[in-house]
């Protein structure tokens, strides 16, 4: 199968399945001499890992990363950075009853029809377990971007119909981790937690939205035509499991506005040319304009329910799928570091493309 690589210069290749021995990856193109902040890496991995609260799956993976190459004396050498994460809390028997059954909302049917075989244990390669590898590479990308002063933060802005203030500038992004659902609006966070408890008790699931804000981005990142910055972000976000929507700046709301309402007017301030507003979301013509980049990523409800669902088996016979296993009631709180990671991978790759070639 193809499609296991992202990036042109700063490039990530991932491997492994949800219930295999391990997952892992290779980060290629990471500049030599990057000091590795292992505390930052553990922090990022801890935010994504399962079993972190009563609202997430109880699968207890520590997600400890073992590096195989590319690091010497806590710095990158310029060689490929290879790493592995062992799967230590697998319960494959939870999926035995699904061996010949297509789960609604999952990749079971399409994968089997495409490849003629599928790993029914937790979805195999199509499982969100793979995103742990993205968080490792995203942490490296964030360390690289930090050296350039670029800051990338994501947070939960909506779960179901419960929505935080849509203006991120009115929120305290330093308080994201104080919320069990990673929403930096305490009152909204409390309502979200209450709602999730009710939905979980009913054996159901719910979707939501993650908002990402990237600050201090220089003018000029992104390539015109096919490699536009916003197009690369869209591809990266839509590659994340359960993502069904992406919009940047005024996004879909722009379809309701007039040009006089949506245009960002240029002005001069403190010797710099900037825009008075930022409906563009920091990107114009596919190239960063120096303003904050902000976008939203919509996640569908988790497809596995703790209640019965109708489906068919591989022969087309009607079956009832019994709710079983360990699953999130809502994926968006754990998706926050994944969105950050993919955003950082996009920015790091485009940032390196902008650098003068080294002899």
- Sequential pLDDT tens for the chain (359 residues): 889 999 999 999 999 998 889 999 999 999 999 999 999 999 999 999 866 655 665 555 678 999 999 999 999 999 999 999 998 866 666 677 778 888 888 888 998 899 998 888 878 788 889 999 999 999 999 999 999 999 999 999 999 999 999 999 999 999 999 999 999 999 999 999 999 999 999 999 999 999 999 999 999 999 999 999 999 999 999 999 999 999 999 999 999 999 999 999 999 999 999 999 999 999 999 999 999 999 999 999 998 888 888 999 888 999 998 776 667 899 999 999 999 999 999 999 999 999 875 43
Q: Identify any residues that bridge with 84 across adjacent strands, giving them in sequence order.
A: 24, 66
Give the C-alpha separation, 56 to 203, whole Å: 13
Give the C-alpha separation, 120 to 101, whole Å: 9
pLDDT at 359: 37
Closest by CA position to 141, among listed 310, 294, 337, 288: 337
Give the C-alpha separation, 27 to 37, whole Å: 16
pLDDT at 254: 96
Closest by CA position to 155, among listed 131, 138, 179: 179
Are 246 and 296 within 8 A, CB to CB? yes
* Secondary structure class of 323 (helix, strand, coil): coil
pLDDT at 93: 64
- Name the strand (E) or helix (H) holding 182: none
Taken in order of first residue, the domains within the chain and their CATH numbers are 5-353 (3.60.150.10)
131-147 helix and 332-353 helix, angle to the nearest 10 degrees: 50
Q: 136 burial class (0-12, 13-18, 19+ CB within 10 angstroms)?
A: buried
pLDDT at 134: 98
Name the CA dihedral angle for 299, 305, 310, 312, rounded to a multiple of 10 degrees: 70
* Secondary structure class of 190 (helix, strand, coil): helix
Phi, psi of 113 (to 5 degrees): -70, -35
332-353 helix and 38-48 helix, angle to the nearest 10 degrees: 140
Phi, psi of 103 (to 5 degrees): -80, 130
Q: How many separate helices (H) and strands (E) can be counted in the chain?
A: 7, 18
**Can you say how many angstroms the Cα of residue 316 is from the centroid of all Cα atoms in its chain?**
34
Give the C-alpha separation, 50 to 85, whole Å: 14
């Amino acid at each position: 199968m193809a499609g296991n690589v992202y990036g042109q210069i700063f490039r990530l290749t991932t491997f492994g399945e949800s219930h295999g021995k391990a997952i892992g990856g290779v980060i290629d193109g990471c500049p030599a001499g990057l000091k590795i902040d292992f505390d930052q890496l553990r922090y990022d991995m801890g935010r994504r890992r399962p079993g972190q609260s009563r609202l997430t799956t109880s699968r207890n993976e520590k997600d400890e990363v073992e590096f195989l190459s590319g690091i010497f004396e806590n710095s990158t050498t310029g060689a490929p950075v290879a790493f592995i994460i062992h799967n230590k809390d697998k319960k494959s028997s939870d999926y035995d009853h699904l061996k010949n059954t297509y789960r609604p909302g999952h990749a079971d049917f399409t994968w089997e029809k495409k490849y003629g075989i599928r790993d029914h244990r937790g979805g195999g390669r199509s499982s969100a377990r793979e995103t742990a590898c993205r968080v490792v590479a995203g942490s490296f990308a964030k360390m690289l971007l930090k050296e350039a002063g670029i800051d990338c933060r994501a947070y939960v802005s909506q779960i179901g119909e419960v929505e935080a203030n849509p203006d991120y500038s009115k929120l305290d992004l330093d308080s994201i981790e104080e919320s069990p659902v990673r929403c930096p609006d305490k009152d909204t966070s409390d309502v979200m937690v209450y709602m999730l408890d009710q939905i979980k008790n009913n054996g159901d699931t719910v979707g939501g939205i993650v908002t990402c804000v990237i600050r201090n981005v220089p003018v000029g990142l992104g390539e015109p035509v096919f490699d536009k910055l916003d197009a690369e972000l869209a591809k990266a976000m839509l590659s994340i499991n359960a993502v069904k929507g992406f919009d940047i700046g005024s996004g879909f709301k722009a379809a309701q506005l007039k040009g006089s309402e949506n245009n960002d007017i240029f002005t001069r301030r403190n010797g710099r040319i900037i825009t008075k507003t930022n409906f563009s979301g920091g990107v114009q013509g596919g190239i960063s304009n120096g303003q904050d980049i902000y976008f939203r990523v919509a996640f569908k409800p988790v497809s596995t329910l703790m209640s019965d669902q109708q489906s068919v088996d591989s022969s087309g016979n009607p079956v009832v799928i019994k709710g079983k296993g360990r699953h999130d009631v809502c994926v968006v709180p754990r998706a926050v570091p994944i969105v950050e990671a993919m955003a950082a991978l996009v920015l790091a790759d485009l940032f390196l493309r902008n650098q003068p070639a080294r002899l």
